[in-house]
């Protein structure tokens, strides 16, 4: 296995999902967005991106401000609507940055989110207690 080979991401901690859920609720009706760090195949941390601009239809992350860190695997963001399907803009971001993305729609709970790979294909993740 090469140094930068993509390891399969199998899950996300319930703690991270709950933290994201509360952050999305606080930001509502604007979008909330953050980076995600993977540790041993599990999304285990949210990474706040300096200079992020949140609005009612999008969140703009200044991804160039992030350090080169191969454990940061993608972006998690909220949709103020109840939809957690990717928009056209989301698909562009998916293709440019990272290999895993999560969208959580209103009401921002453990039943209103979906993970996607960098092509927009749905990915199933286990929730790790």
**Structural domain includes residue 31:** yes
Question: Does residue 121 belong to any structural domain of this protein?
Answer: yes
Q: Count structural domains, the chain.
A: 1
Positions marked active-site = 31
CATH code for position 48: 3.40.140.10
Residue 5 lies in a domain: no
**Does the residue 33 lie in any domain?**
yes
**Residue 123 counted as domain residue:** yes
Domain membership of residue 115 (yes or no) is yes
Whether residue 60 is predicted with pLDDT greater than 70 in this model: the reply is no
Q: 4 lies in a domain?
A: no
| CA angle (126 as vertex; 59, 97 as ends), nearest 5 | 35
Higher pLDDT, 24 or 92: 24
- pLDDT per residue over 82-128, tens digit each? 999 999 988 988 888 889 999 999 999 999 999 999 999 999 999 99
Q: What is the strand order of the sheet 100-105 is part of?
A: 122-123, 113-117, 100-105, 72-79, 33-39, 42-47, 11-13, 126-128
- Return the pLDDT at 45: 95
Q: Provide the residue range defining the domain that includes 103.
A: 11-61+70-128
Q: Is the pTM of this model over 0.85?
A: yes
């Amino acid at each position: 296995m090469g140094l930068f080979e993509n390891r399969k991401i199998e899950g996300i901690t319930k703690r991270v999902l709950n933290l994201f859920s509360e952050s999305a609720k606080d930001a509502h009706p604007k979008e909330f967005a953050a980076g995600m760090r993977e540790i041993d195949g599990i999304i285990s941390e949210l990474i706040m991106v300096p200079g992020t601009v949140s609005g009612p239809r999008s969140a703009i992350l200044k991804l160039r401000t992030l350090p080169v860190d191969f454990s940061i695997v993608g972006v998690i963001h909220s949709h103020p609507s109840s939809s957690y399907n990717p928009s056209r803009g989301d698909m562009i971001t998916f293709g440019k940055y990272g290999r895993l993305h999560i969208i959580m729609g209103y009401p921002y709970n453990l039943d209103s989110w979906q993970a996607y790979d960098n092509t927009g294909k749905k990915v199933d993740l286990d929730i790790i207690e």
